[in-house]
Structure 1
């Protein structure tokens, strides 16, 4: 078997400077120029993501990044204060959402919550509280 010495995730963006402003300026991640004109993002907790430019970028229709937070209500309120709109998906029995678009799964442990928003390129990001 081959030896794995590290790992990181990646996703495309349509405008690297808008991505830098959002991820570094708005969310506070560390951002450094990377090969291929992209950005190396260092997330709280030390995870890494490579955001690469793609001229024919199509936003992901699934969650590309999950941000763990201690308090889902406070995180959603902070996003709204930053001018970031959380997505309001239709609430269903399988995916019950409250009025702020926060998933409140009755089968999850107490304190769990999850909400979604998009980056400037339209990629889906979540904030989630895990007890």
Structure 2
């Protein structure tokens, strides 16, 4: 290996997955990397959990505003299933979400189309003007990856993103 070639070191929960390497950094070629399963976590399916102070209000928001219906309603909360086996759980919580960071991101083939659809349902998108992150009409373009963010009824910050 040449001394000036960047090395890619991945381990832990990424083990056993095929990843697109290089998409987060300029100057690194895209290449497929497959890692061996080295831990039980490397073989685990992942899902997000989102707190809801008012679970009934959250259910209405996710149903009426986002067009999503739970597949399970248990004492643990509301479970939603989306494309490709992804899931998330809305659970009753006495604490309120900070809303300071993206808690769940929905990958979509066209962010602009998704933003337009959600706006027609009443969603208000965040506007940012920060070093390295500026939105135009609610959408940020970050080295080819387009993203937009909004808050749900419980203050959770949700994102929609379009891969490169």
Q: With structure 2 as the length reference, what TM-score do the two structures score? A: 0.67
Taking a change above 3 Å as real, the CA distance of residues 48 and 85 of structure 1, as seen in their structure-2 partners, is same
Deviations 1:50-99 (A, max 9, x none): 1111123233321111011111111111111111000112243x11322x
Taking the aligned partners of 1:56 and 1:48, their CA distance within structure 2 comes to 22
Q: With structure 1 as the length reference, what TM-score do the two structures score? A: 0.81
Q: CA deviation at 1:34?
A: 2.0
Instruction: Point out which structure has higher relative CO (alpha carbons under 8 A, 6+ apart).
Output: 1
Q: Post-superposition, which runs of at least 4 consecutive aligned residues in structure 1 deviate over 3 A? A: 1-7
| Structure with greater proportional strand content | 2
Residue 97 (structure 1) aligned to one of 135, 140, 157: 135
Aligned residue pairs, count: 124
3-state SS, counterpart of residue 60 of structure 2: helix
1:17 alignment counterpart: 56
Taking the aligned partners of 1:16 and 1:115, their CA distance within structure 2 comes to 25
Taking the aligned partners of 1:88 and 1:25, their CA distance within structure 2 comes to 23
Taking a change above 3 Å as real, the CA distance of residues 2 and 75 of structure 1, as seen in their structure-2 partners, is closer
Structure 1's unaligned 5+ residue stretches are none
Contact preservation (8 Å) 1:91, 1:97: no
Taking a change above 3 Å as real, the CA distance of residues 20 and 44 of structure 1, as seen in their structure-2 partners, is farther
Taking a change above 3 Å as real, the CA distance of residues 23 and 44 of structure 1, as seen in their structure-2 partners, is farther
